[in-house]
Amino acid sequence: MKYLFKNALTVTMDQEMKVLKNIDVLVENDRIKALGSIKPEECENAVEIDCTKKILMPGLINGHTHVPMTLLRNYADDMNLQTWLFDYIFPAEDKLTGEDVYWGTMLGIMEMLATGTTCFIDMYFYMDHMAKAVEDSGIRAQLSRGMTSNEKGPDFSQNKSLNECIDFYLKWNGAADGRIMGAFAPHAIYTCSPEYIRAIRDAAEKYGAPIHIHLDETRVEHQDSLKNFGKTPAKHLYDLGVFDLKTIAAHCVWIDDEDIELLKEKDVTIAHNPGSNLKLASGIAPIPKVMDSGINIILGTDGASSNNNLDMFEEINLASLIHKGANLDPLLINAGEALKMATVNGGKALGREDLGVIKEGFKADLILIDVDKVHSKPLHNPVSALAYSIKGSDVCLAMVDGRILYENGEFKTIDKEKVLYNIEKICDRIF
């Protein structure tokens, strides 16, 4: 299949942040074949997409989320993380079935596609059902089974979650034409004993899997770590050898200067979740300092229960605003830097050098944004517009792997009515 995006105002998200006016981009099968001056014979049989008054850019990569938590959206709000998680979220999650997780994932995927996200990095449970939703919908994702246990071991060979995690990885990593990537996810240091984290880490190393973990999200986590282990959460994971594997650490709100050095030394990616951190009053991560260190930073919404949406344009906006305000410095985290966190940096975090940029040979994960809107005119600087004035709902097309999954309000691979019907049924049962 071939598509020709005609006359696109293209924000490439390459190193130089090139913005190309009125150019054509040719997609063939799952890849970007050419951009700029394309020979007419190359475009033969291509479906033309008129991009007048639209911005073409790489699809956004949601760097940390729990998509099935859409089921718990607007259910438990305005409380601290410990109460929210242990008194409301975990008990509600205990009632979920695999079916529920499938439909919750589908709801989240619809929201993500309609707001420009083409890939997400997730940790949850009933992962076979999540993977099925990713496979059915056509979106791209890194998926991992979140694991919690405070057992001391030493033998975790019979541990149910860890065995599920390994089975899931072996079954799904690289599946759905490579759209599904697997990872191992010890939930956090306050829900996993050191021995359990070590066992997960060793298993991940054995199978060559990367790690996805929550790190230093709240002051309570930070202080408990100092009390229980005599070191910061980051140093704790460093000493357990977790960071010797390719790691995405979500939040890192309370990390100190020494932690930043450790994370940099081990090339850990930090997933910044400004919306969730503000809503749960966890604090504001020291992202400008982290950026100065050269650490790779990606952007995530976290679950829809602590945000309460999966709109990455909101997150880009927040990431580019809160550090300016918190540090009284308007030069911090400019629009381009915030956009990189939501695109090309996500590709790097996944070890994928073919995601997050519009460039020949890269994956055709693309979005079109309608800028013929009152709130985005005049369009002096498209990069500024993307960070400061455009809304997720301005997205009018989402393509993953060269396949259009969403266009002008219509989902091509998902039966919207069926998803909404099932969500209502699930909520009637659980709440």
The gap between the terminal CA atoms of the chain, to the nearest Å, is: 45
Instruction: Tell me the window of 48-56, 87-95, 297-305, 316-324 that interacts with Ni ion (CB under 5 A).
Output: 297-305
Is 100 or 302 the residue whose CB approaches Ni ion more closely? 302
Give the span between the Cα atoms of 112 and 127, in whole angstroms. 19
Is 10 or 225 the residue whose CB approaches Ni ion more closely? 225
Please state the closest distance from residue 259 (CB atom) to Ni ion, in A. 19
Please state the closest distance from residue 382 (CB atom) to Ni ion, in A. 31
Instruction: Tell me the window of 84-92, 240-248, 300-308, 380-388 that interacts with Ni ion (CB under 5 A).
Output: 300-308
Give the span between the Cα atoms of 347 and 403, in whole angstroms. 19
Please state the closest distance from residue 301 (CB atom) to Ni ion, in A. 9
- CB proximity list for 394: less than 8 A, separation 6 or greater: 369, 370, 371, 373, 376
8-state DSSP, 230: S
Instruction: Tell me the window of 16-24, 157-165, 175-183, 302-310 that interacts with Ni ion (CB under 5 A).
Output: 302-310
311 scored as a contact of Ni ion (CB under 5 A) = no
Instruction: Tell me the window of 73-81, 172-180, 296-304, 421-429 that interacts with Ni ion (CB under 5 A).
Output: 296-304
Q: Which position has the token pair 């860890």?
A: 162
Single-letter residue type at 397: L
Give the pair of three-digit tokens for residue 32. 């970007």
Please state the closest distance from residue 271 (CB atom) to Ni ion, in A. 9
Residue 41 CB-density burial (10 A; 0-12 exposed, 13-18 middle, 19+ buried): exposed
Q: Which position has the token pair 């002096």?
A: 380
- Number of helical H runs and strand E runs in the chain: 16, 17
3 state SS of 113 = helix
Nearest residue to Ni ion by CB is 302
8-state DSSP, 372: -
Please state the closest distance from residue 260 (CB atom) to Ni ion, in A. 21
Please state the closest distance from residue 303 (CB atom) to Ni ion, in A. 6
Instruction: Tell me the window of 103-111, 299-307, 343-351, 413-421 that interacts with Ni ion (CB under 5 A).
Output: 299-307
Please state the closest distance from residue 80 (CB atom) to Ni ion, in A. 15
Is 221 or 302 the residue whose CB approaches Ni ion more closely? 302
Please state the closest distance from residue 376 (CB atom) to Ni ion, in A. 31
Instruction: Tell me the window of 172-180, 228-236, 298-306, 340-348 that interacts with Ni ion (CB under 5 A).
Output: 298-306
Is 30 or 302 the residue whose CB approaches Ni ion more closely? 302
Is 59 or 275 the residue whose CB approaches Ni ion more closely? 275
Helix segments in 43-118, DSSP class H: 81-83, 90-94, 98-114
Asked if 178 and 205 touch (Cβ cutoff 8 Å), the reply is no
Give the span between the Cα atoms of 277 and 18, in whole angstroms. 32
Is 232 or 282 the residue whose CB approaches Ni ion more closely? 282
The H or E element spanning position 32 is strand 31-36
Give the span between the Cα atoms of 361 and 73, in whole angstroms. 38
Is 58 or 108 the residue whose CB approaches Ni ion more closely? 108
Give the pair of three-digit tokens for residue 144. 């991992």
Measured in degrees and rounded to the nearest 5, phi and psi for residue 29 equal 55, -120
Is 211 or 385 the residue whose CB approaches Ni ion more closely? 211
Give the span between the Cα atoms of 170 and 188, in whole angstroms. 23
Please state the closest distance from residue 187 (CB atom) to Ni ion, in A. 9
Task: Please tell me the count of residues contacting Ni ion according to CB under 5 A.
Answer: 1
* Stretch 31-70 residues interacting with Ni ion (CB under 5 A): none
Beta bridge pairs of residue 270: 249, 297
Give the span between the Cα atoms of 25 and 35, in whole angstroms. 4
Please state the closest distance from residue 63 (CB atom) to Ni ion, in A. 11
Measured in degrees and rounded to the nearest 5, phi and psi for residue 87 equal -95, -25
Is 93 or 302 the residue whose CB approaches Ni ion more closely? 302
Is 225 or 376 the residue whose CB approaches Ni ion more closely? 225
Site string for Ni ion, 374-403 (x = CB under 5 A): ------------------------------
122 scored as a contact of Ni ion (CB under 5 A) = no
302 scored as a contact of Ni ion (CB under 5 A) = yes
Q: What is the DSSP string of 346-392?
A: HHHHTT-TTSSS--TTSB--EEEEE--SGGG-S-S-HHHHHHHT--G
- CB proximity list for 322: less than 8 A, separation 6 or greater: 274, 278, 284
Is 253 or 398 the residue whose CB approaches Ni ion more closely? 253
Residues of this chain that bind Ni ion (CB under 5 A): 302
